[in-house]
């Protein structure tokens, strides 16, 4: 075959392939001509003939497009483009030997450029092409089923990407996206409820962004981000100050994701899909830190007006939640916001420096409470250990760790007295938890007393087997100085049950005589009465009735005590206390004087201690007496606070039932309800009333109280 014949054959074959007439093709003839050109080393000629075939086809198709209306034009252009891409694929298979011989030939790109030059760039076609691209771009944003447009979108990208018309198409798509966002925001925010609730609006935005991503995924990464940024700017950034995060809505936004952990996945999605701009992330970070500060400031203000243990616990509980949420937010892409990273550690340090929080003191009390609960309910030890670990992580950021250490060790010593050292294994566990976050000085006081703990544990196991072992627990003290009983009160005849208890106590102690100067701290009934005794070998010093010593000690710590008070703190019957006290106040002993009160009830008699300084008459010698009184004063103060809390709780309970009461009826009801637990103290009751009024919990109108839940 001559070159002219081969050329005509190649062009004809391309025509047939483009038209889809492959059945009538003679592939033997195609391969024969192809291999003849390859043998003649004229592959370039073959490729040129293929291109000429496509060029001839495009010229014919161009003229057919010119007469089409707009709708017909769009459809026809799509059909021609699809036929072209299909034809290229078939040609590459039909003339496969050529492309195997010259793999560098890029037929797809060469034919596409021919198509653009012949059809898309033709001046007569320009207006129709541009109208098609603009109208199609405006159709895409907000399309319900974007997958139905998949073929057309991919075709447009193939035809126009990197062409002059591509810029027109993509700019039109950006404009259409902006228009869609304006329509969406105006429609959604037209609802008053949505306008006043940023979470609802942002939920709609999140769903809209997720839907549009299906469209954006068709485009290259750079264009994807342009569309995303356009949508976020229009729906969020432009509205954030006036609508979404205005002074009313911003706290609601922060509160929603702080208070309800179930919302956190939504928060993460918003961060990843909506708040993508660096400025927006910084803005959200600032919002969250402001909310953290408000939370802590609220409990700090409450603590200023209430120094009770419950208030301190509330502070620590609040800080635990805040620090947990800070750590949680630090796992999100907020960490990419410079303002978040800049403030993170500094915020952790500064927030606990607020003097109103009294953080180090309250943290020590919080841990003290958890150890107490752990000792009394070992089944929940795991939960309490987790809570202690949470507090320890916060203490790590304290600039005054020594204040915490001092308070912790002070409370630890008090716990040793309260539990007679029986909780030392729990103390070890707590120190292990806190060790990574604290300097080593935290454990020093505990380690110094470890041997004492073990010795105390052994003594208490023995004492628990005794008949009256539940009344006392024992803690061995390392010091040698202590109170020594030198009383000659053995002549006081005790009631039988006390005498038996006295004898049990004495005989048990005698087992430890071999220790010449063993100092024991005997803790009676949950630390309400504490007695330090040094027992040397002299047996006669044990003849004093220890029951009297306990009562006497309780009176020293509260000189205005009455019989009821002594009964409560010693758990002894009032009549027996009265018997012993009156004996000790008789002429034979004259340890103190009894001064009657105005009360008509005999059990309300008050006594004031009047100590007799003569050594002959001072029958009870207690060195460090003043020191012990000072230590016990705190217990009396705690008792007063407990009374105030009980008064206030009872007042609220009564008022909640009655809503309105005059002052006399309210007072009588409170006395009636609390008479079994507390002696009524008028000043404490008045203070409780004043506190509730100042907090706005109850209101007073002359002689009438009212309460609104």
Give per-residue pLDDT as tens, 118-140: 888 888 888 888 888 999 999 99
User: 265 and 290 share a domain?
Assistant: no
Do residues 672 and 628 make contact, with C-beta atoms less than 8 angstroms apart?
A: no
User: 667 and 530 share a domain?
Assistant: no
682-697 mean pLDDT: 79
| Measured distance CA(106)–CA(92) in Å, rounded | 10
CATH number reported for the structural domain that contains residue 527 in this entry? 3.30.230.130
466-487 mean pLDDT: 51
CB under 8 Å to 258, separation ≥6 — which residues? 288, 291, 292, 295, 325
User: 271 and 289 share a domain?
Assistant: no
- Our count of domains for the chain comes to 5
In a domain, 470, yes or no: no
User: 35 and 99 share a domain?
Assistant: yes
User: 429 and 363 share a domain?
Assistant: yes
Q: Is the pTM of this model over 0.95?
A: no
In a domain, 579, yes or no: yes
Confidence of residue 392 (pLDDT cuts 50, 70, 90): very high
Domain span including residue 299:
284-459
In a domain, 38, yes or no: yes
CATH number reported for the structural domain that contains residue 672 in this entry? 1.10.10.10
Task: Return phi, psi of residue 529, to 5°.
Answer: -130, 125
DSSP conformational letter for 622? -
**pLDDT given at position 504:** 74
pLDDT per residue over 398-434, tens digit each?
988 888 988 888 888 777 656 656 677 888 888 889 8
The pLDDT of residue 669 is above 60: yes
| Measured distance CA(506)–CA(77) in Å, rounded | 112
Q: Helix-strand-coil percent breakdown of the chain, rounded to 5?
A: 70, 5, 25
143-172 mean pLDDT: 89
**Angle CA 369–371–376, to nearest 5:** 95
The pLDDT of residue 87 is above 80: yes
Do residues 172 and 137 make contact, with C-beta atoms less than 8 angstroms apart?
A: yes
311-321 mean pLDDT: 86
Sheet holding 529-535, edge to edge: 472-476, 518-524, 529-535
Task: Return phi, psi of residue 686, to 5°.
Answer: -65, -40
The pLDDT of residue 90 is above 80: yes
Confidence of residue 331 (pLDDT cuts 50, 70, 90): confident
- How is residue 434 written in tokens? 């806190």
The pLDDT of residue 143 is above 70: yes
Most confident segment among 112-121, 583-592, 608-617, 656-665: 112-121
User: 497 and 585 share a domain?
Assistant: yes
- State the residue for tokens 């208070």: 259
In a domain, 159, yes or no: no
The pLDDT of residue 358 is above 90: no
User: 544 and 653 share a domain?
Assistant: no
């Amino acid at each position: 075959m001559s070159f002219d014949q081969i050329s005509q054959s190649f062009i004809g074959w391309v025509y047939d392939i483009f038209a889809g007439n492959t059945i009538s093709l003679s592939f033997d003839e195609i391969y024969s001509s192809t291999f003849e050109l390859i043998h003649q080393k004229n592959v370039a000629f073959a490729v040129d003939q293929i291109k000429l075939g496509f060029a001839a086809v495009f010229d014919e198709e161009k003229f057919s497009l010119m007469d089409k209306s707009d709708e017909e034009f769009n459809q026809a252009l799509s059909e021609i483009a699809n036929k072209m891409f299909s034809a290229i694929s078939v040609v590459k298979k039909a003339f496969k030997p050529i492309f195997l011989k010259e793999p560098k030939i890029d037929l797809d790109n060469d034919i596409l450029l021919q198509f653009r030059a012949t059809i898309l760039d033709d001046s007569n076609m320009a207006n129709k092409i541009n109208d098609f691209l603009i109208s199609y771009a405006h159709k895409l944003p907000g399309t319900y089923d974007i997958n139905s447009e998949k073929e057309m979108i991919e075709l447009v990208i193939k035809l126009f990407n990197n062409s002059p018309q591509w810029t027109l198409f993509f700019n039109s798509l950006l404009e259409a996206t902006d228009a869609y966002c304006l329509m969406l925001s105006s429609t959604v925010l037209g609802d008053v409820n949505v306008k006043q609730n940023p979470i609802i609006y942002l939920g709609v935005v999140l769903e809209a962004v997720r839907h549009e991503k299906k469209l954006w995924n068709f485009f290259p990464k750079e264009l994807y981000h342009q569309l995303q940024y356009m949508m976020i700017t229009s729906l969020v950034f432009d509205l954030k100050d006036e609508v979404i995060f205005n002074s009313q809505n911003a706290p609601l936004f922060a509160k929603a994701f702080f208070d309800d952990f179930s919302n956190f996945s939504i928060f993460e999605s918003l961060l990843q899909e909506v708040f993508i701009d660096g400025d927006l992330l910084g803005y959200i970070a600032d919002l969250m830190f402001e909310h953290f500060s408000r939370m802590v400031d609220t409990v700090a203000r409450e603590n200023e007006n209430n120094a009770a243990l419950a208030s301190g616990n509330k502070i620590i509980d609040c800080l635990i939640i805040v620090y947990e949420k800070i750590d949680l937010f630090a796992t999100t892409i907020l960490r990419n916001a410079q303002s978040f990273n800049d403030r993170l550690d500094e915020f952790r340090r500064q927030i606990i420096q607020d003097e109103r929080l009294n953080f180090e003191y309250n943290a020590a009390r919080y841990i003290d409470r958890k150890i107490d609960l752990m000792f009394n309910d070992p089944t929940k030890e795991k939960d309490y250990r987790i809570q202690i670990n949470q507090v320890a992580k916060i203490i790590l950021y304290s600039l005054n760790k020594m204040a915490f250490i001092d308070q912790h060790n002070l409370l630890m010593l008090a716990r040793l007295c309260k539990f007679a050292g029986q909780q030392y294994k729990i103390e070890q566990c707590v120190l292990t938890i806190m060790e990574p976050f604290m300097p080593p000085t935290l454990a020093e006081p505990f380690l110094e007393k470890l041997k004492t703990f073990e010795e105390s544990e052994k003594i208490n196991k023995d004492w628990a087997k005794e008949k009256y072992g539940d009344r006392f627990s024992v803690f061995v003290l390392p010091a040698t100085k202590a109170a020594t009983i030198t009383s000659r009160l053995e002549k006081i005849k005790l009631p039988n049950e006390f005498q038996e208890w006295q004898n049990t106590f004495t005989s048990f102690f005698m087992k430890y005589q071999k220790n010449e100067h063993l100092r024991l701290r005997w803790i009676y009934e949950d630390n309400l009465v504490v007695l330090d005794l040094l027992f040397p070998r002299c047996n006669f010093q044990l003849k004093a009735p220890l029951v009297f010593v306990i009562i006497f000690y309780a009176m020293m710590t509260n000189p205005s005590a009455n019989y009821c008070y002594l009964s409560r703190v010693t758990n002894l019957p009032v009549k027996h206390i009265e018997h012993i006290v009156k004996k000790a106040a008789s002429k034979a002993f004259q340890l103190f004087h009894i001064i009657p009160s105005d009360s008509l009830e005999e059990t309300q008699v008050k006594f004031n201690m009047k100590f007799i300084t003569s050594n002959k008459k001072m029958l009870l010698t207690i060195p460090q007496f003043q020191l012990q009184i000072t230590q016990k004063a705190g217990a009396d103060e705690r008792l007063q606070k407990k009374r105030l809390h009980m008064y206030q709780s009872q007042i609220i309970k009564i008022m909640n039932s009655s809503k309105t009461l005059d002052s006399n009826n309210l007072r009588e009801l409170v006395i009636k309800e609390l008479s079994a637990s507390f002696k009524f103290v008028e000043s404490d009751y008045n203070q409780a009333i004043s506190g509730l009024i100042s907090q706005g919990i109850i209101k007073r109108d002359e002689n009438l109280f009212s309460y609104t839940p």
